[in-house]
């Protein structure tokens, strides 16, 4: 397991800090500009969710290796209200932001792997990985 | 060469061609390339990145600022890229949904199926088209043992699947009616009791029930709040409304229905419909019942099935190919 | 200033900021701007055109070729713009469809509705979740005059709306069953006749019917080709299959069903399910029935409703929140 | 009524000629580059349909005026097999080209007005207008 760097998300400026952290690690790993933009967009989205719905939480970035593959893992953890219907939240076209297409299905699309655990009143833990091609 | 490499080369060639001649021909290549990219599910942000790379490559001394500006364009395009990829997924869902609906519509067809009876001296045409996928309108023919033609036309208040679920109930109820179908008012009375008892209290059904007796050429009918039909008198060439009073099915289980009758002369027509025919809304407002009549007149020399088909086609186009309500139209024409 | 003018100015400011500092902060502004553009339904080709105009404006001496190259990028983006606008429309359709389905699911709920009976000494939990929008699984409880708990669990072969249409039929049939529900094998026999007669010949239904008599603590049951349940013996802590043989409903109208029985001791459980529970497919292949048992064990100390809810939640996540089949799980637990 | 200029569509090269004609008229009327690209894309699509499904037909371009408004009208006529189910062809997401989003609903979107008449075995007549804003 690699080293984690984390950013606490308390206000909107922290979203930029989380993006910056993600971009730095992505650059170090050798991701191209398109993938950098995708990773930072995914981080923005996760951080924004924490900021909007959980109030606070943190985003951690980790370099990971599996065999000869290298990747970047984003971990978004909060102890907010949790998600009551994950199936619905993961459904395309459900997010209310008119046609944005982001939300959690967007994050899943921008990354290669995606896992979510959420309990009501306990919080949400999302892990997403992008592999270097 | 991998897919991305191939696309890169194609784009490079198109750009180089265009910088040389700025021709329409090359822009057309660009459009075809766009089609290909989309078919191959390449996101728009990749094209922006490709474009930036090409510029750097072709003009190594292009100002740095121009190159930097592409970072912003790329960032903006990632959002569109997401919308675009969600689009792919929604298209697939749409396909799945369409397939499911086709199966459901078939099941409904099997459940509600009716065939137009062949009777000497009577020319019958009928069409029923759902506004969405499943039909909340319903028509049914029965040729009874006395060679009488029984015809039912019904409309659930509401459209789509909820209405279709209700309509299947009506079909079960009609199938289990006692055998004496002869009196339209009695048929409506017994169906009314079934609907009142079994269907969600917020669902109502309008129904017109008629019976044509070919031995005395009389058409008997009753209506449960259904859109009134037209009667065409061949001798005078005039149309009149077949008014009939009666409460909708499902409101009050004690409702009684009045029965009406008309003598049908050679060439006369009975025209039955759901409100989807008359309430078809066009850009200029609702279609008037008068307009429908002039539409029927236009095709009056044709056989009944062709008339209903043609009228449907005309109204479909008038509504810009988007039906607002289920559409059902039936014509019974006594031959000479 | 109009919308387009405002957007132009915003983009201009972001670009100028970025050319000055190339900061993450400005790129984040770019991302938020992207969100705003999409919300305001501005097509990507307009952004490309805007970008070109800005470059021309900021750097009047940018090479002509660079400017020309944008014509090609624009041409390519028109295709994405179309996909993007179709996306808007599909989203709206998706919304409409979801609303229609919610209404239909409510109609189905009203038609199929059942409530879990409250009986002393018996703890009952039940959950039924459709894979898509409407449920092709069905469960039903009846507490009869002798305080016996009757439980039915059924699965139409197939999913979605066609299956739901069929299932409503089964409900009508169950409602019109004669009052002597006491013998599960007789219930299945009469339902079989109804299904055979009325349902599309390609549709089959599996059903498990059981009856728990609280006065002698015996559970009587029969199965029409339904997924076997489990029996949990509290004394040994072991699970065993509740095997029961019987043809599916709708195949042969003369089918006879065998009846089985089990004595239920304090703490024992009867676990009934549809195949959507055991055939839930995960990335590593199908879930084994054994895995389900260890899942039940994990929650065995909880009340019946919490057990079924927790198991559903676990399996939902295992399947990446996409159910492949309707999911129904019922637990009857005799209290000490 | 303005003057019509027409291009016969017999092969793929004629698609380019129709686009060129449309672009020239669009430029004369003062349409910007984005609208020019949209108009030519619509013309391409209509011409391509003629070429693929009807074998031959023609595309005419007309300048039109209504009060103080000026516009460009595209008329695509063929005597091919006709369209049996127009409702289906006009439905979004129906076109088989994976996710292209063009087809006739695409043409309708690219332009401001759209009308179609089609009879089986007689052919199809499509008229689409784009107004200058
Ligand atoms: Mn209706
Ligand atoms: Mn109606
Ligand atoms: Mn099923
Ligand atoms: Mn199943």
Domain count, chain D: 1
What is the mean predicted confidence (pLDDT) over C43-60? 92
Q: Is residue C99 part of a domain?
A: no
Q: Are residues C71 and C187 in the same domain?
A: no
Q: Are residues C23 and C157 in the same domain?
A: no
Q: Is residue B101 part of a domain?
A: no
Q: If pLDDT is split at 50, 70 and 90, which confidence band does D99 have?
A: very low
End position of a domain, from candidates C63, C93, C123: C93
Q: Are residues B120 and B81 in the same domain?
A: no
What is this structure's pTM? 0.75
A abuts D (3+ Cβ pairs < 8 Å): no
Closest-CA residue in chain C for B61?
C63
Q: Is residue C215 part of a domain?
A: yes
Closest-CA residue in chain D for C43?
D34
Paired strand residues for D57: D9, D78
The answer to whether D100 contacts B38, with C-beta atoms less than 8 Å apart, is: yes
Name the token pair of C255: 């089918």
Q: Domain containing D72: what range?
A: 4-131
Instruction: Give the orientation angle of helix B64-112 with respect to helix A33-49, to 10 degrees.
Output: 60
Q: Are residues C68 and C118 in the same domain?
A: no
Q: Is residue B39 part of a domain?
A: yes
HSE, side-chain direction, 13 A CA sphere, residue D93: 23
Instruction: Please check whether residue C83 touches B, CB under 8 A.
Output: yes
Domain count, chain B: 2
**What was the pLDDT predicted at C95?**
80
Who's near D55: CB < 8 A, 6+ residues apart? Answer: D78, D80
Nearest chain D CA: its distance from C42 CA (Å): 12
**What was the pLDDT predicted at A101?**
41
Taking the C-alpha atoms of residue A100 and residue C87, their distance in angstroms, rounded to an integer, is: 10
* Residue D52 main-chain phi, psi, to 5 deg: -80, -45
Q: Residue C206: in which H helix or E strand, if any?
A: strand C205-213
User: Would you tell me which residues 9-48 of chain A have a C-beta closer than 8 angstroms to some C-beta of chain B?
Assistant: 32-34, 37-38, 41
Q: Residue C80: in which H helix or E strand, if any?
A: helix C64-112
- For residue C54, what is the domain's CATH number? 1.10.1240.30
Taking the C-alpha atoms of residue B269 and residue B229, their distance in angstroms, rounded to an integer, is: 10
| Geometric angle at alpha carbon A104, from A102 and A108, rounded to 5° | 95
Q: Give the per-residue SS3 of B52-110.
A: HHHHHHHCCCCCHHHHHHHHHHHHHHHHHHHHHHHHHHHHHHHHHHHHHHHHHHHHHHH
Which chain B residues touch C78 with a CB distance below 8 Å? Answer: 31, 34
- For residue D61, what is the domain's CATH number? 3.30.565.10
Q: Are residues C79 and C220 in the same domain?
A: no
Q: Is residue C29 part of a domain?
A: yes
Q: Is residue B160 part of a domain?
A: yes
Which chain C residues touch A87 with a CB distance below 8 Å? Answer: 316, 321-323
Nearest chain A CA: its distance from C55 CA (Å): 21
| Geometric angle at alpha carbon D20, from D116 and D119, rounded to 5° | 20
Q: Are residues C178 and C274 in the same domain?
A: yes
Q: Are residues C292 and C156 in the same domain?
A: yes
Dmax of chain B from CA atoms?
Answer: 96
- Chosen for mutation from D16, D31, D43, D101 (greatest number of chain C CBs closer than 10 Å) is D101
Q: What is the pLDDT along chain B (336 residues), one digit of tens a residue?
A: 688 889 999 999 999 999 999 999 999 999 999 989 988 889 999 999 999 999 999 988 888 889 999 999 999 999 899 888 888 888 888 888 778 777 778 777 777 777 899 988 999 999 999 887 788 899 999 888 888 999 999 998 876 777 777 777 777 677 666 666 568 999 999 889 878 876 667 778 999 999 999 999 999 999 999 999 999 999 999 999 998 999 999 888 899 999 999 999 999 999 999 998 987 656 555 566 788 898 899 999 999 999 999 999 888 888 878 888 899 999 999 987
Q: If pLDDT is split at 50, 70 and 90, which confidence band does A97 have?
A: very low
Q: Are residues C124 and C28 in the same domain?
A: no
Q: Domain containing B324: what range?
A: 113-334
Q: Are residues B14 and B134 in the same domain?
A: no
- For residue B183, what is the domain's CATH number? 3.60.40.10
**DSSP state letter for A53:** I
Which chain B residues touch D20 with a CB distance below 8 Å? Answer: 24
pLDDT digits (tens, 9 = 90+) for B218-243: 999 999 999 999 999 999 999 999 98
Q: Is residue B278 part of a domain?
A: yes
Who's near C318: CB < 8 A, 6+ residues apart? Answer: C280, C282, C287
pLDDT digits (tens, 9 = 90+) for B249-285: 988 889 999 999 999 999 999 999 999 898 765 655 5
């Amino acid at each position: 397991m690699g080293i984690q760097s984390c950013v606490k998300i308390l206000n909107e400026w922290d979203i930029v800090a989380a993006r910056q952290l993600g971009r730095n690690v992505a650059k170090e790993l050798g991701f191209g500009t398109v993938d950098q933009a995708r990773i930072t967009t995914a981080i923005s989205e996760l951080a924004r969710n924490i900021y909007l719905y959980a109030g606070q939480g943190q985003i951690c970035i980790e370099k990971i290796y599996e065999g000869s593959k290298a990747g970047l893992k984003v971990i978004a953890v909060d102890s907010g209200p949790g998600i009551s219907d994950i199936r619905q939240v993961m459904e395309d076209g459900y997010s209310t932001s008119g046609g944005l297409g982001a939300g959690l299905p967007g994050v899943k699309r921008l990354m290669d792997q995606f896992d979510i655990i959420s309990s009501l009143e306990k919080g949400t833990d999302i892990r997403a990985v992008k592999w270097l091609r | 060469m991998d897919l991305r490499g191939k696309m890169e080369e194609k784009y490079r060639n198109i750009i180089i061609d265009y910088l040389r001649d700025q021709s329409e021909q090359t822009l057309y290549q660009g459009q075809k390339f766009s089609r290909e990219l989309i078919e191959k599910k390449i996101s728009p942000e990749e094209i922006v990145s490709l474009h930036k790379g090409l510029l750097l490559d072709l003009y190594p001394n292009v100002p740095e600022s121009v190159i930097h500006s592409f970072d912003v364009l790329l960032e903006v395009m990632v959002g569109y890229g997401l919308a675009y990829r969600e689009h792919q997924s929604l298209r697939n869902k749409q396909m799945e949904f369409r397939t499911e609906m086709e199966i459901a519509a078939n099941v409904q067809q099997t459940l509600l199926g009716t065939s137009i009876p062949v009777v000497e001296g009577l020319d019958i045409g009928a069409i029923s088209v759902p506004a969405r996928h499943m039909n909340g309108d319903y028509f049914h023919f029965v040729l009874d043992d006395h060679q009488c033609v029984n015809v039912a036309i019904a409309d659930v208040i509401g459209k789509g699947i909820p209405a279709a679920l209700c309509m299947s109930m009506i079909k079960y109820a009609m199938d289990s009616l006692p055998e004496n179908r002869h009196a339209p008012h009695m048929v409506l009375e017994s169906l009314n009791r079934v609907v009142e008892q079994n269907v969600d209290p917020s669902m109502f059904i309008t129904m017109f029930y008629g019976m044509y007796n070919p031995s005395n050429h009389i058409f008997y009918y009753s209506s449960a709040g259904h859109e009134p039909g037209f009667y065409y008198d061949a001798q005078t060439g005039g149309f009149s409304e077949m008014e009939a009073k009666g409460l909708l099915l499902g409101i009050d289980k004690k409702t009684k229905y009045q029965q009406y009758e008309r003598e049908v002369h050679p060439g006369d027509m009975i025209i039955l419909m759901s409100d989807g025919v008359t309430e078809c809304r066009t850009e200029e407002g609702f279609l008037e019942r008068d307009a429908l009549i002039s539409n029927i007149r236009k095709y009056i020399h044709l056989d009944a099935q062709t008339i209903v088909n043609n009228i449907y086609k005309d109204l479909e186009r008038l509504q810009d190919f988007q039906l607002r309500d289920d559409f059902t139209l039936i014509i019974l024409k006594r031959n000479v």
